[in-house]
């Protein structure tokens, strides 16, 4: 099939009703990150510029577009927790993105119960079926192609402890879709939910 393309250079504008960038690179898993400031304030916020980057040791990362509370907390303490966003938790996750001051605890704002972590003084989202306790490994300020600094920081951390709800383990195999994970699409409001019907298998050649 031949395509007729809309082509553009992002630096000079996309020429569309909405920037398609994050609708194209999507749906993305959500980094729902809890952290604590050095002075003790608890924080929780979603980051969809998020992914896993290494197996051994496991490393995950997210981008803070602008210097936000989560970034500052991790700079101060070196610790954070990732919590899986599931369909029952989606609306609460959305509430935790409110632009509130660092003294506001988004767990309380969104009516979310906490569980303690085993390796750090950062709460987990109690109703999230999977959490990773992470220690910061690197914080990289991003650069444009000309080497100029961008006000975006990529926060990378090693997963030092994993908590999985046992119901998601069938004969020792983690069931991705059973967790009903929610992923971020583009535009102001698009999300996707993973269901078991969407599963297909394809093995690597050779
Ligand atoms: C689904 C979702 C994904 C988001 N992804 C990002 C992201 O990748 N990077 C970012 O800087 N902000 C992102 N935001 C906005 C932040 O969550 C928001 O700025 C929040 O107030 C930051 O909280 P904090 O200052 O407590 O860290 C996202 C919001 C939502 C709802």
The whole-model pTM stands at: 0.97
* % of the chain with per-residue pLDDT over 70: 100
Report the nearest-CA residue for atom 5 of ligand 1.
47
Report the nearest-CA residue for atom 16 of ligand 1.
97
Enumerate residues 6+ apart whose C-beta is below 8 A from 95. Answer: 106, 109, 110
Of 48, 81, 104, 122, the residue with max ligand 1 atoms within 8 A of its CB, to mutate for a pocket test, comes to 48
Homologous superfamily (CATH) of 19-190 is Electron Transport, Fmn-binding Protein; Chain A (2.30.110.10)
Of 36, 60, 68, 90, the residue with max ligand 1 atoms within 8 A of its CB, to mutate for a pocket test, comes to 68
Query: Cα-flanking dihedrals φ and ψ of residue 36, to 5°?
Result: -140, 140
CB 79 within 8 A of CB 36: yes
**Residue 99: strand, helix, or coil:** coil
Residue 191 CA, closest ligand 1 atom number: 1
Q: pLDDT per residue over 119-145, tens digit each? A: 999 999 999 999 999 999 999 999 999
Measuring CA to CA, which residue among 114, 112, 110 is closest to residue 122? 114
Q: Where are the domains of the chain?
A: 19-190
The predicted pLDDT at position 199 comes to 95
Cα distance between residue 85 and residue 46, in whole Å:
9
Cα distance between residue 51 and residue 141, in whole Å:
17
Helices (H), the chain: 21-24, 69-77, 90-95, 106-109
Measuring CA to CA, which residue among 157, 147, 129 is closest to residue 58? 157
Q: pLDDT per residue over 86-110, tens digit each? A: 999 999 999 999 999 989 999 999 9
Cα distance between residue 53 and residue 43, in whole Å:
24
Q: pLDDT per residue over 146-173, tens digit each? A: 999 999 999 999 999 999 999 999 999 9
CA distances to 42, 69, 70, 162 from 65, in Å = 20, 11, 11, 27
Angle, CA 164 vertex, CA 158 and CA 169 arms, to 5°: 125
């Amino acid at each position: 099939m031949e395509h007729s393309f809309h082509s553009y250079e992002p630096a000079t504008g996309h020429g569309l009703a909405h920037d398609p960038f994050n609708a194209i690179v999507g749906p993305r898993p959500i980094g729902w990150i809890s952290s604590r400031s050095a002075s003790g304030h608890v924080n929780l916020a979603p980051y969809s510029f998020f992914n896993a980057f290494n197996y051994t040791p496991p490393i995950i990362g997210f981008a803070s577009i602008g210097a936000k509370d989560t970034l500052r907390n991790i700079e101060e303490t070196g610790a954070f927790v990732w919590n899986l966003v599931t369909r029952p938790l989606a609306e609460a996750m959305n509430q935790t993105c409110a632009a509130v001051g660092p003294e506001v605890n988004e767990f309380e704002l969104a009516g979310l119960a906490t569980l303690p972590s085993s390796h750090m003084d950062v709460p987990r989202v109690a109703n999230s079926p999977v959490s990773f306790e992470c220690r910061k490994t690197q914080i990289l300020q991003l650069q444009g192609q000309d080497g100029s600094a961008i006000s975006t920081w990529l926060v990378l951390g090693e997963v030092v402890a994993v908590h999985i709800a046992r119901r998601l383990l069938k004969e020792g195999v983690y069931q991705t879709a059973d967790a009903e994970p929610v992923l971020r699409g583009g535009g102001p409001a698009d999300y996707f939910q993973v269901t078991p019907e969407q599963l297909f298998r394809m093995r690597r050649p050779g």
